[in-house]
Chain A
């Protein structure tokens, strides 16, 4: 199994290389000059040219690409034009915000979708099933940015229950440790900060997680339905096991593979969803960083971010393959 994973991991290297090349070419094709975008309106042409030289933008593309690759291999993604800091530092500073949001969205999705799906499958064609199916369709069809806006309109604008944007109220949180605010405040036992962090997290997590609830719920329903037809369920029932026990212990375990697969596939969608949801909620994560990077033509930052996104995606897929083995010991590599 380890050998298999290593082989897969090595197989992703050319993919990542191709992706960086693609991004590089796209960036070069784009109109817009990072130097004149970043420097003040009054900067002289000579100073703009000097900045371009310093950033290596006066070099031909293949030279720039080779330089990027050779330093990237050593783990150095270069320096952001805009933030004048190493790209890895800029990304690291924003990563916790996105992680926090994505985790919360997944938790929301799993907590809602799996019970709903199992319940619906246990009583096919009942009102529970119909309601669940309807909700699933609703979740899939809902554009997440619109849902975000509507949530803001209702819960922040109308009822003043929840904050409309940002991650925290200034001055409530203690020093950053992990950068995940709810974890930090838990570690520091700072209850007001925990409440503050969770309040800020609620709306964006709902907006981001709802699509996934829909998809996950449907997959859970259908795979549980499939599993219910299997022989061992019939056997278990025949043995007189309680229905509840049959469903939750035996069926769910076997239905878990498609569910886990879909969670993994959906993580990619979640990453792209976070780009737009972060914009709606002014969430200071990687998604809004990417938009900033693109509008500023911050080539090293955009390349670094895309590389990170795709690497995360590839690794998630690998992790899921590995998980199969854990869930179902029959699977061997």
Chain B
């Protein structure tokens, strides 16, 4: 589990849009995983199980509405940061972050799982709990939207 942590943080930061919220998400995921560890089936992949827990929490949090507010604040903060012009590296990074945040949840997680975490479509689909074909089309829609947004920034 410790070995998985860096990757889980990466996924969490990608979902949440920033490292601080990502670590909060990470913490909740670990706590839930530890509380439910008897449900993890020996022989199945621990990483997939953890990713699934994390994305479920993320989706639940989103439904609760708390995340919308946070995302809004984060975007404003990012925009102000851009206005300074002082932290160009940070601004450059935030293009991707902000583009990712504009994706619908289902597309963002598909993009993250496949293009960042390197899961095969089948594995990603199992984590998300959808058919492979659905995962494939979400990925394509998310990818196209990202390209459109980032293409302007390039």
Question: A and B: partners?
Answer: no
